Amino acid sequence: MISRKVLYAILIIMAIVLAIQVTDKPEEVTVTTEDIVDSIEQSKQDLKLKQELIAQLEREDVWMKQISCLARNVYYEARGESLEGQKAVALVTLNRVENSMFPDTICGVVNERKTVKGRTKCQFSWRCESHTNPRKAVRQSHESYQAALTAILEYETLTTTLVTKDTLFFHAKHVRPFWRKVKQRLTRIDNHIFYDQKPGDRRR
């Protein structure tokens, strides 16, 4: 028994054959060299446009990932604080990106970790805490994205007055990290104390 798909295919072929038989002789089409050149040029333009579009989408995708990393860091380091407090944390993260002692991308800075004597240490402690769910957390906090985007805007336009570009470190006021004694204390914003690198001092 012929399947329905095969039957449909046969009917389509028969229709095409009948159409060819009853159709008058087609008009001759003259293709000039100029037509061919125009067609090639149009194809080149279409290809270039497609390549540019793909490149733009890739750049936007990469940039959105960087913003997401910044928003996660803001959430876990400063959630519940004022917009100024959250922006300050974001600005320190951006300062590190521009500093040669740290990775040169936001995600690189946020995710940076090292292993010392078999023990993993993270630049931002929440990255070493297995119970955190950064993607879910940020989706639940529009404030984190607002702080991240505002910080980027102020950073790029040099309009921020919260922290200087030399501000590279901070910690919550309720902790006493060992490295604070070898840093230059700058200011306190909400729940965090911010520091600069002293001349000749190594990063923590």
Residues counted in the chain = 204
Helices within the chain (DSSP H only) = 4-22, 33-78, 83-97, 106-111, 134-139, 142-156
- pLDDT score, position 85: 93
CA 182 from centre of chain: 33
For residue 182, pLDDT over 70 is answered with: yes
**164 band by pLDDT with thresholds 50, 70 and 90:** confident
Report pLDDT digits (tens) over 135-151. 655 555 788 888 998 99
- Show Cβ contacts of residue 150 under 8 Å, excluding neighbours closer than 6 positions: 83, 87, 90
Top-confidence residue, 182 or 56: 182
**59 band by pLDDT with thresholds 50, 70 and 90:** low
Please tell me the distance from the alpha carbon of residue 91 to that of residue 102, in angstroms, as a whole number: 14
> With contact defined as beta carbons under 8 Å apart, do 107 and 69 qualify?
yes
- pLDDT score, position 2: 44
pTM of the entire predicted model: 0.65
Exposed (0-12), middle (13-18) or buried (19+): which is 105, by Cβ within 10 Å? middle
> With contact defined as beta carbons under 8 Å apart, do 105 and 63 qualify?
no
Provide DSSP, 149-179.
HHHHHHHHTT---SS-TTEEEEEETT---GG
What's the rounded mean pLDDT across residues 150-174?
87
Report pLDDT digits (tens) over 77-136. 998 899 999 999 999 999 999 998 899 999 999 998 877 677 778 888 888 876 556 565
CA 55 from centre of chain: 14
Report pLDDT digits (tens) over 3-45. 455 444 454 555 555 554 544 555 555 656 666 556 666 666 7
Q: Which fold has domain 63-197?
A: Arc Repressor Mutant, subunit A (1.10.10)
